[in-house]
Amino acid sequence: MAEAVTSNRQLWADLLQDAKQKVPETKAELLKVQKNAFSLANAIGHCLRWGISVSNEDFQMLTPTMANAAILELKDFISRVKVDLSKLEEDLDEARDPSAEEICVELLDYRESVAAVFEAVTQVYTTVDRE
């Protein structure tokens, strides 16, 4: 378990370092920052939702600017999921039982990611409002 915590902290530190390196100048750089911010918010949000302690140091990596970038990526993520789900009924009708279960698990994973990012971003803005 300690390895996982260290690994997560390193991942978060790497994501933060990537985002802080420079102001994105190209669309590709901006998208990378957005994806990193989304990953960070997703990780923190899952910890918050599952009752896993997040230190202040770790939580402070998700700054309001990073939260805004995470929201932009969340919007893109939801658009991609919407396209993926547009044929859900058809896919489920054609799927065999194991495949149908996989589709349902994937749908649950989408939902969990959206909820986790929303939870983390909400916490950021709640904290900012209190200061």
Q: What is the pLDDT of residue 5?
A: 46
**pTM value > 0.75:** no
Q: Which two tokens stand for residue 89?
A: 């009924």
The residue behind tokens 């990780």 is: 43
Give me the half-sphere count of Cα atoms (radius 13 Å) on the Cβ side of residue 96. Answer: 1
Quick one: pLDDT at residue 34? Answer: 85
Task: Give Cα 24 to chain centroid, integer Å.
Answer: 20
Q: Is the Cα torsion angle 4, 44, 47, 117 positive or negative in sign?
A: negative
Q: For the chain, 131 residues long, give each residue's pLDDT as a single digit of tens.
A: 344 445 555 655 565 555 555 566 778 878 888 888 898 898 888 888 888 887 777 777 788 888 888 998 899 888 888 877 777 777 667 766 666 677 778 888 888 888 899 999 988 888 765 55
- For residue 32, the enclosing domain spans 2-130
Q: What is the total count of domains within the chain?
A: 1
Residue 121 near residue 63 (C-beta atoms within 8 A) = no
Report the alpha-carbon distance of residue 38 to residue 41 in Å, rounded: 5
Q: Which of 100, 94, 77 is nearest to 31 (CA)?
A: 77
